Amino acid sequence: MDDDRALVVTTDFFTPVVDTPYEYGAIAAANSLSDVYAMGGRPFLALNISAFPTDLPEDLLAEIVRGAAHKAKEAGVVIAGGHTVQDQEPKFGLVALGLVSPEHILTKHGALSGDRLVLTKPLGFGTITTALKQEKATIEDVEDVVRWMKLLNDHSSALAVETGLKGATDVTGFSLLGHAWEMAQASQTAFRFFYKQIPFLESARRYADMGAFAGGAYDNRSYYRNHVRFPEGFPETDEMLLFDPQTSGGLLLCVPAGKLDAFNASARARHIPTWEIGIVVEGQGIEVV
């Protein structure tokens, strides 16, 4: 737009991942805004995108929209309208617009060898929401994953910009490994992940052991498996958890080693959750050790 401002425009929408309409709307909004945060931007305007069955009760539809409106308000975003069509299965999300400084933009090609890989939300969202669809998940586990999915990536994004980071992406439907491979490829580097340092929601492994994996997890493994090197004998369940599609997941940030202490100190002071899970190295592809 000018020397100080660039426009970020993105959209995302999906079918319900939880049973409660208000939470579904809030999660969909947080997820849609995440791409703006992943580029270091600040969203300011949004439009609703919705597809609803004609027999869905109006009060239920209102709760979906209300959940999104409240999450947008939390983010400082105005929802200025939108568009609705009829469909047999509900779908909801946002078109989101944000502003970013060209000098401080975060991109997928910003990873440099030696950068530490930092994740801002745990994994396992897809496994738990799949267990919910299979009527295996407990109320407590669902409440836990909903809390994480509703969490905005705004503070993590602001911290990344203030620290002067260059490389970032958000971890959503293509899984940690899928999005990491896209980033490594764009940056012409390789990513090495330390499996024992990767955070998972406490109940995710329990549902993974039950085989509660979304179809997207198998798609991710099929597409990205050839780009990932696992240790010999690496358990299939652990592998599938790394291919688990996330809804409204966290940011994957590339933090230069010289900025890591300041980044961690600021994150602790602001109560921003972060986990150091790997390192950027020379080469190609993804390695899990």
Q: What is the CATH number of the domain that holds 213?
A: 3.90.650.10
**Same domain membership, residue 153 and residue 236:** yes
Helices then strands, counting H and E runs in the chain, come out as 10, 11
Residue for token digits 């240790």?
Answer: 231
Cα(28)–Cα(18) distance, rounded to whole angstroms? 11
Beta-ladder partners of 107:
167
Residue 171 lies in domain: 106-289
pLDDT, one tens digit per residue, over 138-194 is 999 999 999 999 999 999 999 999 999 999 999 999 999 999 999 999 999 999 999
**Same domain membership, residue 160 and residue 76:** no
Q: What is the pLDDT of residue 183?
A: 98
Q: What is the pLDDT of residue 138?
A: 97
Is 255 in contact with 116 (CB distance < 8 Å)?
yes
Q: How many CB atoms neighbour CB 76 within 10 A?
A: 10
Which of 144, 273, 275, 288 is closest to 202 using CA atoms?
144
Q: What is the pLDDT of residue 10?
A: 97
Who's near 23: CB < 8 A, 6+ residues apart? Answer: 67, 146, 150
Beta-ladder partners of 10:
96
**Same domain membership, residue 254 and residue 190:** yes
Q: What is the pLDDT of residue 260?
A: 98
Confidence of residue 77 (pLDDT cuts 50, 70, 90): very high
Confidence of residue 220 (pLDDT cuts 50, 70, 90): very high
Rounded mean pLDDT of the chain? 97
Q: What is the pLDDT of residue 276?
A: 98
Beta-ladder partners of 278:
117, 193
**Same domain membership, residue 232 and residue 119:** yes
**Same domain membership, residue 128 and residue 251:** yes
pLDDT, one tens digit per residue, over 13-39 is 999 999 999 999 999 999 999 999 999
| Average pLDDT score over residue span 214-222 | 97
Choosing from 80, 105, 130, the residue where a domain stops is: 105
Q: How far is CA 8 from CA 40, 96, 178, 197, in A?
A: 10, 8, 22, 32
Confidence of residue 265 (pLDDT cuts 50, 70, 90): very high
Is 106 in contact with 160 (CB distance < 8 Å)?
yes
Cα(235)–Cα(196) distance, rounded to whole angstroms? 13
**Same domain membership, residue 54 and residue 178:** no
Question: Which tokens in the block code for residue 52?
Answer: 């609803």
**Same domain membership, residue 52 and residue 133:** no
**Same domain membership, residue 111 and residue 98:** no
- For the domain that residue 32 is a member of, what is the CATH number? 3.30.1330.10
CB burial of residue 109 (10 Å; 0-12, 13-18, 19+): middle
Question: Which tokens in the block code for residue 49?
Answer: 């995108």
C-alpha 178, offset from chain centre: 12
C-alpha 57, offset from chain centre: 30
**Same domain membership, residue 222 and residue 120:** yes
Q: What is the pLDDT of residue 161?
A: 98
Choosing from 49, 81, 105, the residue where a domain stops is: 105
| Average pLDDT score over residue span 197-215 | 97
Domain count of the fold of the chain: 2
**Same domain membership, residue 208 and residue 182:** yes
**Same domain membership, residue 158 and residue 114:** yes
Choosing from 53, 84, 105, the residue where a domain stops is: 105
**Same domain membership, residue 95 and residue 1:** yes
